[in-house]
Chains A and B, each alone.
Chain A
Amino acid sequence: MSAAHGHPAEQVHEPVFVGETLAELERRFTEYPTKQALLLPALWMIQERRGWISEQAIGEVAAVLGLTPAYVKGVVTFYTMYHTHPVGRHFIQVCTTSPCGLCGAEETLRAIVEHSGCGELGATSPDGRFTVIEVECLGACGFPTPVLVDDDFIENVTPETVPALLERYR
Chain B
Amino acid sequence: MGYPHPSHPREQVLLSKYFGDSGARTYAGWVDRGGYQGLRKALGMSREALIEEVKASGLRGRGGAGFPTGLKWSFMPKDDGKPHYLVCNADESEPGTFKDREIMRWTPHALIEGCALAAYAIAAERCYIYIRGEFTEPWSVMTEAVREAYANGVLGRNALGSGHRIDITLHRGAGAYICGEETAMMNSIEGKRGNPRIKPPFPAVAGLFGMPTTINNVETLAATPHIVLQGAAFYKSLCLGNPKSTGTKLISVCGHVQRPGNYEITMGTPMRELIYDMCGGMRPGRTLKAVIPGGSSVPIMTADEAETCITDYEGVIEKGSMLGSGGMIVMDDSADMVYQVWRLARFYAHESCAQCTQCREGTAWTTRILERILAGKGKEADFQLLLDLSEQMTGKTICVLSDSCAAPIVSGIQKFRGEFEAYMSGARRPALASAL
Which residues of A are in contact with B by a Cβ distance under 8 Å?
31-34, 36-41, 43-44, 65, 67, 74-75, 78-82, 93, 96-99, 101-103, 135-144, 148, 151-153
Residues B329 and A99 in contact, CB atoms below 8 Å apart: yes
What are the residues of chain B within 8 A of A44 when measuring CB–CB? 133, 172, 174
What are the residues of chain A within 8 A of B209 when measuring CB–CB? 33-34, 37
Residues B340 and A102 in contact, CB atoms below 8 Å apart: yes
Beyond contacts A44-B174, A82-B175, A153-B134: 14 other A-B pairs, Cβ-Cβ < 8 A, are A33-B83, A33-B209, A34-B209, A37-B190, A40-B191, A41-B171, A79-B173, A80-B176, A99-B329, A102-B329, A136-B95, A139-B132, A141-B98, A141-B252
The interface size bin for chain B is 35 or more
The answer, among B94, B172, B191, B255, for a CB contact under 8 Å with A102, is B255
Residues B174 and A34 in contact, CB atoms below 8 Å apart: no
Residues A137 and B174 in contact, CB atoms below 8 Å apart: no
What are the residues of chain B within 8 A of A140 when measuring CB–CB? 98, 101
Instruction: Tell me if B335 is interfacial: C-beta within 8 Å of chain A.
Output: yes
What are the residues of chain B within 8 A of A39 when measuring CB–CB? 191
What are the residues of chain B within 8 A of A82 when measuring CB–CB? 174-175
Query: Cα distance A103–B193 when bound, in Å?
Result: 33
Listed A/B pairs (21) with beta-carbon separation below 8 Å: A33-B209, A40-B173, A40-B188, A40-B191, A79-B176, A82-B175, A97-B347, A98-B95, A99-B96, A99-B254, A102-B329, A136-B177, A137-B93, A137-B95, A138-B134, A139-B135, A140-B98, A141-B327, A142-B252, A153-B135, A153-B136
Residues B193 and A74 in contact, CB atoms below 8 Å apart: yes
Question: Given A38-B191, A139-B132, A97–B172 Cβ distance below 8 Å?
Answer: no
Instruction: Tell me if B344 is interfacial: C-beta within 8 Å of chain A.
Output: yes
Q: How far is the CB of A70 from chain B (nearest CB, A)?
A: 12
Q: How far is the CB of B26 from chain A (nearest CB, A)?
A: 20
Query: Cα distance A110–B172 when bound, in Å?
Result: 30
Question: Given A136-B350, A137-B94, A97–B343 Cβ distance below 8 Å?
Answer: yes
Residues B261 and A40 in contact, CB atoms below 8 Å apart: no
Instruction: Tell me if B262 is interfacial: C-beta within 8 Å of chain A.
Output: yes
- Tell me the B56-99 residues at the A interface (CB within 8 Å): 83, 92-98
What are the residues of chain A within 8 A of B167 when measuring CB–CB? 31
What are the residues of chain B within 8 A of A151 when measuring CB–CB? 136
